[in-house]
């Protein structure tokens, strides 16, 4: 593999966006190919002239979209995603830069309430199996006292998938990485987990029973706390 460090320039003011753009360029020019390992986090931070946490933020967004895969003790590698699909995903990632946290959470609330409504209307038995599996993974992670943030979002994305609305699902996938990063940064949802577990179970039951309005109402109730928190903050992403 070509030493890609020689093709990397110091990041601009919006460092995360610039890092993603430069990685896109390296893939489009085939300096990076599926299976190639990215340089160590420390070397990339030095080359981009940013902190290692900035590199991790950019990688977390790329990993969520399965553009890269990070393995413990092995580093990050480029996945086998097609070039044209990669370009489309990168464009989606960059569209939401420089927005405020409340706007993201408010949009998430709008999307999720409708996702719950449509999922209750359109879900299949297979969808129910996937939602229940995601719910149980979340509960298990909470009970083991680990961070269940990723499992929580996977549960919600599975509901979006069950909505059978591809645009709604794509919008959820687009905004989720930035929301996850900020939920983790500001320790949103780190308090009592008994209430969200109960709400997840209720939500699943309403979707299972095709109770459209109850599913929408419990989703609205479920997201009220984070929406209130986001409104009280002045966070620019």
Residue range 152-172, pLDDT digits in tens? 889 999 999 999 998 898 888
Please state the rounded mean pLDDT for residues 198-210: 96
CA distances for 38 relative to 52, 62, 125, 222, angstroms: 14, 12, 41, 39
Do 147 and 192 form a contact (C-beta atoms < 8 A)?
Answer: no
Q: Can you list the alpha helix ranges (DSSP code H) found in 33-100?
A: 41-48, 52-64, 83-95
- Model confidence band, residue 114 (pLDDT cutoffs 50, 70, 90): very high
> pLDDT exceeding 70 applies to what percent of the chain?
84
> pLDDT exceeding 90 applies to what percent of the chain?
35
Do 193 and 209 form a contact (C-beta atoms < 8 A)?
Answer: no
Each residue's pLDDT tens digit, 32-90: 888 899 999 999 999 999 999 889 888 888 887 778 888 877 789 988 765 445 555 55
From 201, 112, 189, select the one nearest 156 (Cα to Cα). 112
Give pLDDT, residue 86: 53
Residue 181 CA from chain centroid, whole number = 8
Please state the rounded mean pLDDT for residues 101-113: 89
Give pLDDT, residue 120: 98
Q: Which has the higher per-residue pLDDT, 100 or 19?
A: 19
Do 97 and 232 form a contact (C-beta atoms < 8 A)?
Answer: no
Helical (H) or strand (E) element with 69: strand 68-71
Please say if the pLDDT value at position 192 is more than 70: no
Please say if the pLDDT value at position 139 is more than 90: yes
Delineate the domains of the chain, giving CATH numbers in brackets: 4-94 (1.10.10.10), 98-232 (1.20.120.530)
pTM of the model: 0.64
- Model confidence band, residue 97 (pLDDT cutoffs 50, 70, 90): low
Q: Which has the higher per-residue pLDDT, 198 or 150?
A: 198
Each residue's pLDDT tens digit, 116-134: 999 999 999 999 999 999 9
């Amino acid at each position: 593999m070509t030493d890609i460090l020689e093709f990397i320039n110091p990041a601009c003011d919006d460092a995360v966006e610039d890092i993603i753009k430069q990685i896109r360029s390296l893939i489009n020019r085939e300096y990076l190919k599926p299976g190639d390992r990215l340089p160590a986090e420390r070397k990339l931070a030095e080359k981009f002239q940013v902190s290692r946490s900035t590199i991790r933020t950019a990688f977390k967004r790329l990993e969520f979209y399965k553009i890269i895969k990070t393995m413990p003790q092995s580093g990050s590698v480029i996945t086998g995603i097609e070039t044209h699909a990669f370009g489309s995903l990168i464009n989606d990632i960059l569209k939401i830069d420089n927005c405020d946290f409340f706007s993201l959470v408010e949009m998430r609330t709008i999307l999720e309430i409708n996702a719950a409504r449509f999922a209750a209307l359109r879900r299949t038995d297979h969808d129910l199996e996937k939602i229940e599996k995601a719910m149980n993974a979340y509960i298990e992670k909470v009970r083991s006292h680990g961070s269940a943030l990723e499992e929580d979002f996977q549960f919600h994305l599975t509901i979006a998938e069950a909505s059978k609305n591809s645009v709604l699902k794509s919008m959820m996938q687009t905004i989720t990485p930035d929301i996850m990063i900020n939920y983790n940064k500001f320790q949103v949802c780190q308090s009592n987990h008994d209430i969200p577990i109960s709400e997840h179970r209720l939500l699943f039951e309403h979707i299972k029973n095709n109770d459209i309005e109850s599913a929408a109402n419990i989703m609205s109730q479920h997201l009220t706390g984070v929406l209130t928190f986001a409104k009280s903050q002045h966070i620019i992403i």
